[in-house]
Amino acid sequence: MIYRPMYADKIMAYADTPFVKILTGVRRCGKSTMLKMIMEKLKKERHVPADRIISCRFDSMEYEDMTAKQIYTQLKEQLSPGGKTYLFLDEVQEIKEWENVVNSLASDFDVDLYI
């Protein structure tokens, strides 16, 4: 893994803000790796407990037949009660109506979203 502190620091500047952080780029450029780096920075630098960080890879067959509503419900059940949860939704575009999931999570819960 190649560490890219400049990019990681730019993204971390928006941590704990109401904005949904969106990483874009061409295929295989390191977006998923950057999400992992941000998770590690949250744990090490901001002392976020691991149980407050949820990461989902939606290119996994585990989510292949799930609807947006089912994914919303599953994520809702994993959220940390009484505090902010950091959600990392990798390859979320693979889910039909993923925008509704992201909007609902951002509106309904205390989450810091990265996609």
pLDDT-derived band of residue 1, with 50, 70 and 90 as boundaries? Answer: low
Once rounded to an integer, what is the mean pLDDT over residues 59-71? 92
As a whole-number percent, the residues of the chain with pLDDT over 90 amount to 80
**How confident is the model at residue 42, as a pLDDT?**
97
Residues 46/78/20/22 CA torsion (nearest 10 deg) = 90
Helix (H, G, I), strand (E, B) or coil at 101: helix
Q: Where are the alpha helices (DSSP H) in the chain?
A: 5-12, 31-45, 68-78, 98-108
Q: What is the pLDDT of residues 66-105, one digit of tens each?
A: 999 999 999 999 998 889 999 999 999 999 999 999 999 9
**Domain residues of the chain, as ranges?**
5-114
Q: What is the pLDDT of residues 15-33, one digit of tens each?
A: 999 999 999 988 888 899 9
Distance in angstroms (rounded) separating the CA atoms of residues 9 and 4:
9
